[in-house]
């Protein structure tokens, strides 16, 4: 593969549907290797990837990219381009990648019945097989299980082109990236993107150290400003006294001696030094004030979210009798009698395609709660649904809209950007769903892969809020750290020897991990 780079020259970009610009005067030079792209939801990470791969064109400026580029989107609504060619290829590369990612032969004909984790595995597998010179991947670990995450890290480590990686997976960013682009929408437009060396952890440490340096320099400048302001006050009094001595106002018309003394003082400049010193102090004060403006830190909001939840007075939230559920493609899931009490906190875990989302949908059908008392956040929200949710949001009454957008703000996204977007990002839409759901005062919260698409500060905020809520929790996730902090019962779906049959077992009540 030839040597090449990705270059942005004075790039501006803004969406026609929004009055807000995303980038202005952006200059970048990225070499071969992986570059992480990090920042809050809605900051412009996906936009940057699409600009780099030619799916979007800058409104001003120029981008030089290799001729062979590929963008892997967050969503997996449709099968990836060249999926059939990949599945039918008999070369060593294709067969090796299919085996590494567990891509089955029948996936070609049943894309709509695949789990989102299986779809994501197929999407990344095709991308690695195509081996473009520039590969931009948006949230590759969304939906994937622990085993697939390991295969993904190994597969992406072998890529030898220019890689752009958007992810909230700290382990993946640290393991792959030699540098990170940090996008901060709270900064002035021309200063939003900063390139830092290292993986996620190293870059965040650099950011914290820089904030501390700026804070210390600002405090020092603030003290200087106070000292100079006091000195200016004293010097202004001396300058006013000097000015009064040099003034002929109030001297009697015939007092030529007094006027002569003032003329002599003016000529020698003896009494002008207080005024010169005052001007010098003001100039120093202006420079210190400039430093204060330069060192100004962006306002940091306390991400403290709450759930107005209420425990149900019913004995059980749902009761599902023992049954076998069809998963499609000749696969099935056997479940025992399942029941959930009002304050249970349950984790549902298992491999991709084992039927977790199907079971959740079955449970929601038989829930015994009154309508509106269940907050459900699905695993994936397609583009069409996202547009409808955004339209519903804009039609909310002003008071409810204000409360909803306050929650969105607490989750780390800018309300103005969401309200001005026809189709907000997947992470922003999930935040909107959570915000709308809080209004219902739920007795049961069901979340299918809730950390997917969310930025890291938002995950922490959501975790803290869920830990405080007083209602039932049913969480599906591959993020074991997230589940460990929030749940006390674990339901695990395991494959049987037949590989087409899965069974659910309760594997944990005492705090031990099931794996």
pLDDT of residue 302: 46
Listed residue (182, 169, 179, 183) closest to 199, CA to CA? 179
User: Rounded CA gap, 346 and 340, in Å?
Assistant: 8
pLDDT of residue 299: 47
Q: What burial class does residue 62 get, using C-beta atoms within 10 Å of its C-beta: 0-12 exposed, 13-18 middle, 19+ buried?
A: exposed
What are the angstrom distances between the C-alpha of 399 and each of 79, 402, 428? 41, 5, 20
Classify strands 374-377 and 444-448 as parallel, antiparallel or unpaired.
parallel
How would you label 425-451 residue by residue, b for 16+ Cβ within 10 Å and e otherwise? bbbbbbbbbbbbbbeeebbbbbbbbbb
Domains of the chain, by residue range, sit at: 6-186, 210-294, 318-508
- In the three-class reduction of DSSP (H, G, I as helix; E, B as strand; rest coil), residue 11 is classed as strand
DSSP character string of 76-117: -SSPPTTHHHHHH--SHHHHHHHHHHT--GGGGG-GGGS-HH
Listed residue (178, 181, 225, 234) closest to 49, CA to CA? 181
Asked if the 318-508 domain carries CATH number 3.40.50.300, the reply is: yes
User: Rounded CA gap, 447 and 377, in Å?
Assistant: 5
And the tokens for 221?
A: 């400048």
Backbone angle region of 409, left / alpha / beta, with phi > 0 → left and psi within -120 to 50 → alpha: alpha
DSSP 176: H
Q: Which residue has the tokens 């209004």?
A: 439
Listed residue (462, 514, 491, 477) closest to 346, CA to CA? 491
Q: What burial class does residue 251 get, using C-beta atoms within 10 Å of its C-beta: 0-12 exposed, 13-18 middle, 19+ buried?
A: middle
Domain 6-186: which CATH class?
A: alpha beta
Classify strands 338-340 and 21-30 as parallel, antiparallel or unpaired.
unpaired
- In the three-class reduction of DSSP (H, G, I as helix; E, B as strand; rest coil), residue 475 is classed as strand
Classify strands 345-350 and 489-495 as parallel, antiparallel or unpaired.
parallel
Beta partners for residue 444, in sequence order? 374, 472
Sign of CA dihedral 366, 371, 377, 383: positive
Each residue's pLDDT, cut to its tens digit, for the chain (515 residues) gives 446 789 999 999 987 655 568 899 999 999 999 999 998 877 889 999 999 999 999 999 999 999 999 999 988 888 999 999 999 999 999 999 999 898 998 898 889 888 888 899 999 999 999 999 999 999 998 878 777 888 888 899 999 999 999 988 888 899 999 999 999 887 778 888 999 999 888 887 887 787 777 778 888 888 888 888 888 888 787 777 766 555 556 566 666 665 566 555 555 555 557 777 878 888 888 888 877 776 554 444 444 556 666 788 888 999 999 999 998 878 899 999 999 999 999 999 998 888 999 999 999 998 878 877 888 988 888 888 889 998 989 998 988 888 888 888 877 778 888 888 888 888 888 888 888 877 778 889 999 988 887 777 778 778 888 888 888 999 998 888 888 889 999 999 999 887 789 999 998 644 454 44
User: Rounded CA gap, 183 and 189, in Å?
Assistant: 10
CB contact at 8 A, 66 and 162? yes
CB contact at 8 A, 121 and 146? no
CB contact at 8 A, 481 and 310? no
Return the C-alpha torsion angle 442, 447, 453, 458, nearest 10. 50
- In the three-class reduction of DSSP (H, G, I as helix; E, B as strand; rest coil), residue 9 is classed as strand
pLDDT of residue 65: 95
And the tokens for 294?
A: 């330069």
User: Rounded CA gap, 493 and 145, in Å?
Assistant: 12
And the tokens for 336?
A: 């025992």
Classify strands 472-476 and 444-448 as parallel, antiparallel or unpaired.
parallel
User: Rounded CA gap, 36 and 165, in Å?
Assistant: 5
CB contact at 8 A, 509 and 489? yes
pLDDT of residue 515: 43
DSSP 148: H
**What is the model's pTM?**
0.64
User: Rounded CA gap, 8 and 15, in Å?
Assistant: 18
And the tokens for 475?
A: 């969480």
Q: How many helices (H) and strands (E) would you count in the chain? A: 16, 19
DSSP character string of 222-267: HHHHHHHHHHHHHHHHHHHHHHHHT--TT--TT-HHHHHHHHHHHH
Domains 6-186 and 318-508 share a fold: yes
User: Rounded CA gap, 104 and 112, in Å?
Assistant: 14
pLDDT of residue 445: 92
CB contact at 8 A, 426 and 75? yes
């Amino acid at each position: 593969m030839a040597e090449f780079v990705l270059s942005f020259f004075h790039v501006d970009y803004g969406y026609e549907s929004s009055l807000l610009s995303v980038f202005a005067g952006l200059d970048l030079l990225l070499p071969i290797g992986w570059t992480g792209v990090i920042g809050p939801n809605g900051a412009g990470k996906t936009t940057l990837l699409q600009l780099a791969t030619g799916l979007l064109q800058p409104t001003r400026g120029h981008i030089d990219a290799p001729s062979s580029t590929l963008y892997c989107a967050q969503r997996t609504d449709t099968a990836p381009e060249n999926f059939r060619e990949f599945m039918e290829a008999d070369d060593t590369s294709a067969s090796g990648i299919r085996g590494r990612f567990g891509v089955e032969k029948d996936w070609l004909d049943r894309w709509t019945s695949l789990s989102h984790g299986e779809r994501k595995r197929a999407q990344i597998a095709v991308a690695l097989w195509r081996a473009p010179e520039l590969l931009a991947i948006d949230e590759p670990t969304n939906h994937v299980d622990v085993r697939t995450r390991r295969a993904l890290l190994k597969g992406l480590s072998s890529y030898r082109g220019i890689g752009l990686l958007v992810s909230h997976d700290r382990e993946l960013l640290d393991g792959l990236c030699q540098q990170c682009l940090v996008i901060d929408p709270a900064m002035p437009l021309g200063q939003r993107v900063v390139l830092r060396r290292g993986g996620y952890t190293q870059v965040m440490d650099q950011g914290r150290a820089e904030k501390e340096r700026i804070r210390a320099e600002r405090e020092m400048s603030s003290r200087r400003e106070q000292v100079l302001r006091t000195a200016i006050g004293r010097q202004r009094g001396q300058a006013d006294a000097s000015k009064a001595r040099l003034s002929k106002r109030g001297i009697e018309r015939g007092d030529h001696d007094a006027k002569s003394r003032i003329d002599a003082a003016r000529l020698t400049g003896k009494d002008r030094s207080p005024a010169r010193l005052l001007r010098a102090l003001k100039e120093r004060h202006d420079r210190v004030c400039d430093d204060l403006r330069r060192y100004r830190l962006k306002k940091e909001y306390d991400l403290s979210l709450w759930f107005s939840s209420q425990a149900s007075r019913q004995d059980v939230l749902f009761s599902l009798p023992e049954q076998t559920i069809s998963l499609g493609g000749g696969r099935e899931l056997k479940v025992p009698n399942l029941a959930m009490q009002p304050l249970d906190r349950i984790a549902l875990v298992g491999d991709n395609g084992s039927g977790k989302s199907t079971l959740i949908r079955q449970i929601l059908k038989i829930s015994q709660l009154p309508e509106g008392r269940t907050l459900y956040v699905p695993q994936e929200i397609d583009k069409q649904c996202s547009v409808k949710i955004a339209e519903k949001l804009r039609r909310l009454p002003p008071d409810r809209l204000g409360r909803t957008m306050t929650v969105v703000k607490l989750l780390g996204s800018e309300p103005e950007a969401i309200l001005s977007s026809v189709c907000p990002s997947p992470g922003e839409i999930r935040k909107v769903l959570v915000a709308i759901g809080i209004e219902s005062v739920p007795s049961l919260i069901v979340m299918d892969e809730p950390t997917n698409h969310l930025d890291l500060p938002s995950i922490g905020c959501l975790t803290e809020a869920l830990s405080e809520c007083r209602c039932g929790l049913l969480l599906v996730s591959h993020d074991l750290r997230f589940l460990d902090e929030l749940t006390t019962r674990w339901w695990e779906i395991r494959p049987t020897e037949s590989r087409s049959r899965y069974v659910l077992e309760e594997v944990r009540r005492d705090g031990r991990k099931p794996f």
